[in-house]
Structure 1
Amino acid sequence: MSGAFYLPEGMPAPEPAADGLDAAFWKGTRNGELRVQRCGQCGTWQWGPEWLCHQCQSFDMRWEKVEGRGIIYSWERPWHPVHPVLREFGPYLVVMVELPHAGGVRMIGNLLGPVGQEVEIGAEVEAVFEPHDEAPVPYTLVQWQHVS
């Protein structure tokens, strides 16, 4: 893999759940789309993926393309490695992004840019799709960056 990726080589590749629950999410990322589940009965948005709606218990869950923009709800600058490959790769920035166009659901991801950058709650961010085409099973990660 190329050195142009945010995380170093050797990190485990994400895999869709064996039951196919999140396959539409990963298919969307490959197409540069952010997808979130929405109930076909009551319209409730939810993240992470589930077979039934948290609001009305319907099994009519659908995947909808949403705008890849949100606001920083929370953030952290971890210094500890969560995987052996990251032993020399800290610190890094992790953000919890609230998606106002998807009912306010929140996703966690890396914040791109200098590790020492200032991070503010409420700052606008946008999704950046990082394709890993050379992986044995190609995948695309969703990273976040400040809106300029």
Structure 2
Amino acid sequence: MTDAQYLPDGLPEPRLAEPDLERPHWDAAREEKILVQRCGSCATWQWGPEWICHKCLSPDMRWAEVPPRGLIYSWERIWHPVHPALKGHTPYLAVLVELPDAGHVRLVGNLLGDPYQTVKIGSPVAAVFEHHRGAEEPYTLIQWRCLEDEQ
């Protein structure tokens, strides 16, 4: 969707802790899709990625595409830079987004737009895919924007 960056250059690039486990999610994000794990045995959704189901302990974990929309479950306005590259780039908004179409699992991301905007729990949001094609290992971040801003 965009190659513009929400936060400044100089932040560490994300690295996969367990590439064989996590790669499907990150590869899908580069294609502007959201994939979430779902158990092939009991159909339970889960996030973050795991080798076995949290509910039934089955190893039959699969990936399912879900709509790139959710609801703000929680949020925080960050005032203090947590990394030297963020000095002078605060405040910014981080949100925990619940995905109703994925068993209500929750993803974290930045809320785009005015960092002083009023944020309401339950507000609908849509994913914005922030591509970092020039990175050592190209990646895409999933950010969020309020849909209420479009009304």
> Quick one: distance in 2 between partners of 1:18 and 1:38?
18
User: Could you tell me which amino acid in structure 2 is paired with residue 57 of structure 1?
Assistant: L
Aligned-pair identity (%): 57
TM superposition score normalised by structure 2: 0.93
> Quick one: distance in 2 between partners of 1:137 and 1:96?
26
> Quick one: distance in 1 between partners of 2:145 and 2:116?
14
Name the SS of the counterpart of 2:64 in structure 1. strand
Instruction: Report matched runs for 1:25-64 at 5 Å.
Output: 25-64=25-64
Name the SS of the counterpart of 1:98 in structure 2. strand
> Quick one: distance in 1 between partners of 2:18 and 2:124?
34
> Quick one: distance in 2 between partners of 1:105 and 1:12?
26
What is residue 99 of structure 2 aligned with on the other side? Answer: 99
> Quick one: distance in 2 between partners of 1:19 and 1:136?
16
Compare 10-19 and 122-131 and name the one that shifted more. 10-19
User: Could you tell me which amino acid in structure 1 is paired with residue 136 of structure 2?
Assistant: P
Q: CA deviation at 1:19?
A: 4.4
Superposed structure 1 runs of 4+ greater than 4 Å apart: none
What is residue 12 of structure 2 aligned with on the other side? Answer: 12
What is residue 72 of structure 2 aligned with on the other side? Answer: 72
> Quick one: distance in 1 between partners of 2:36 and 2:10?
28
- Which structure dedicates a bigger proportion of its chain to helix? 2
Q: Deviations over 1:68-88 (max 9, x none)?
A: 100001111011111111121
> Quick one: distance in 1 between partners of 2:132 and 2:21?
21
Residue 112, structure 1, aligned to residue 112, structure 2? yes
> Quick one: distance in 2 between partners of 1:10 and 1:19?
23
More relative contact order, 1 or 2 (CA 8 Å, 6+ apart):
2
> Quick one: distance in 2 between partners of 1:120 and 1:136?
37
TM superposition score normalised by structure 1: 0.95
Q: Deviations over 1:100-139 (max 9, x none)?
A: 0000001111000010111000100010001111112111
> Quick one: distance in 1 between partners of 2:96 and 2:60?
27
> Quick one: distance in 2 between partners of 1:64 and 1:17?
21
Unmatched 5+ residue regions in structure 2?
A: none
> Quick one: distance in 2 between partners of 1:82 and 1:53?
33
